[in-house]
A and B are shown apart, each in its own frame.
Chain A
Amino acid sequence: MKIKALLKKELLEILRTYKIYVIPVIFLFFGLLSPITAKIMPDLLKSMAGEFKIELPPSTWHDSYGQFFKNLNQIGLLAVILTTMGTVADEKARGTALLVLARPISRHAFILSKWMGNITLLIFSIASSYVACTYYTYVLFPQTNVGASLEATLLFLIYAVFISSLTIFASSITASNIGAGGIAIAGFFVTSILPSLHKSFAKYSPGALTALEMKIINGSATIGSASWAIIITTILSVALVTLGSYIFSKQEL
């Protein structure tokens, strides 16, 4: 059984379990809701202010994508961690990993197939939510910039793949899904605060991608300025999965 067959098994498993509902539905949900929230936000704030008269400019397509990326970067990625944390750890706990690995399959291929399966789901979910958000933004706001929003979504995809890799790494090295979730959430927290600690982190660490998404939407940065962060994040993702599968191959099952 080669990697292709393993990946097929992994994709089938995603189809059969709840994962197929949760991630695409959450992403699609925020893709649809964010433009609507952005549209009604000025009116909402005005009605909350009550007696005080406040003047707010009407929201634009920037706000729509602003909401979109804010939601996905927080709740979206948290959902990715929660649904991915059991990927390897659950199979270890249930003993099904042992069954699969009783056949002539390397443990590296086992982890790699899980990683690829999860990333396939992630790409599908992000793509569909982007389409939904762009369509709603197009309907609700007079102007949209498809190029900029596509670039920003690409950055988000790279960041989401990093978080997914981090979670699979945590799942490979721990024995329980709760432990894996704890490590992954801690890692997620650290990556999100690193950019505010030092200038070089703000430019080169994975967390920098989050800020760059909005800068690209607002037109204050180009995708070129994100290239180092993209390269470093991709290398880190590959390194995490490689390290995870290395530690997994040394474990007693």
Chain B
Amino acid sequence: MINADLIKLLLPVVLLEIILMVLALRDLVRRECVTGGNKVLWGIIIVIFQVIGPIIYFVFGRKDTCTQ
């Protein structure tokens, strides 16, 4: 049953993953400070963990102000 039709149906799912990833990465690039201070680490988390990674970033990674 794992055939071409099923892969076609998976396309929108992959598209959603990519949209979420791009939105998270765009936010990451524009942001000055993130939780923990390591933007590269957040980038890796967003890319590696599909769907979950961007959400974790949106909820925990974003910081409005830089406090040292």
Q: A21 is contacted by which of B12, B20, B62 (Cβ under 8 Å)?
A: B20
Evaluate contact between A82 and B2: CB separation under 8 angstroms. no
Contacts A25-B51, A136-B9 given; 6 further ones with Cβ under 8 A? A18-B58, A21-B19, A26-B51, A26-B55, A29-B51, A40-B2
Interface, chain B (partner A; CB < 8 A): 1-2, 6, 9-10, 12-13, 16-17, 19-20, 23, 27, 51, 54-55, 58-59, 62, 64
Evaluate contact between B55 and A22: CB separation under 8 angstroms. yes
**Within A32-59, which residues are at the interface with B (CB < 8 Å)?**
32-33, 36, 39-40, 43
Interface, chain A (partner B; CB < 8 A): 18, 21-22, 25-26, 28-29, 32-33, 36, 39-40, 43, 79, 82-83, 94, 136, 139-140
The interface residues of chain A lying within 8 Å CB-to-CB of B6 are: 36, 39-40
- With A36-B6, A40-B2, A43-B1 already in contact, the answer to whether A29 and B17 are too (CB < 8 A) is yes
The interface residues of chain B lying within 8 Å CB-to-CB of A140 are: 9
Q: B19 is contacted by which of A18, A25, A33, A136 (Cβ under 8 Å)?
A: A25
Evaluate contact between A25 and B20: CB separation under 8 angstroms. yes
Nearest CB in chain A: distance from B36 CB, A: 15
- Report the Cα distance A140→B54, complex, angstroms: 29
Nearest CB in chain B: distance from A233 CB, A: 26
Closest Cβ neighbor of A132 among chain B residues: B12
Evaluate contact between A21 and B58: CB separation under 8 angstroms. yes
- Report the Cα distance A83→B60, complex, angstroms: 10
- Report the Cα distance A15→B20, complex, angstroms: 15
- With A29-B17, A36-B9 already in contact, the answer to whether A83 and B23 are too (CB < 8 A) is no
The interface residues of chain A lying within 8 Å CB-to-CB of B59 are: 22, 82-83
Nearest CB in chain A: distance from B44 CB, A: 19
Most chain A CB neighbours (cut-off 10 Å) among B6, B9, B59: B59
The interface residues of chain B lying within 8 Å CB-to-CB of A136 are: 9
